[in-house]
Amino acid sequence: MSFVREGAINPFRETGGVYKAVRTLQLNRSCGSLRTVYSVEKCPTGLMASFEIEGQLKLPDLSAIDSTVETWVPDGPGSVLGHFTMCWHAEDGSRIKGEAETHYQIPTNLALKSTQFREILIDFRADRKHLEQQERIVLFSDDLLKTWTFPGRPDGRVKPAMLKSG
């Protein structure tokens, strides 16, 4: 379900993609909110995902969605807390921002050792009756992020001399 960069751990790999989660999504501009309870279970043909969605939305027609990065915070064995910000583009040129909080429950004793991130690239097409969405997800570690931000300094310590204003 995800590509995994060196140093990151995919907690879903051990379960073959089986997990449960609760996600809340709050949109700006009085566009509404959703609460989703979902589970992914094994079935004879692969995996079956079930979703229960509660909430109300009042949205303009959407035309695109920006990529995002979800932060995963370790929360003990089999538990991960996630947060990400989404940005949808509306046909009228406006943008809708969504803040998502997710609690993943994974049937494993595996615990993340450190904060991780999920880069989520999304391509979607939608009209009033259909939605088609494709995603590419890449997991990466805090250590890898630090090597991108501070080349040659994977420990992430920043000296004041390294910072420049402007």
pLDDT at 144 over 50: yes
Exposure string of 99-127, with b = 16+ CB inside 10 Å and e = fewer, is ebebebebebebebeeebbbbbebeeeee
Per residue in 71-122, pLDDT (tens digit) is: 999 999 999 999 999 999 999 999 999 999 999 999 999 999 999 999 999 9
> pTM, whole model, 2 decimals?
0.84
Q: Is the Cα dihedral 30, 84, 36, 46 positive or negative?
A: positive
Specify the residue for token string 């947060």.
83
CA distances to 3, 76, 114 from 119, rounded to whole Å, are 10, 22, 16
Helices of type H across 9-114: none
Indicate the pLDDT class of residue 125, thresholds 50, 70 and 90.
confident
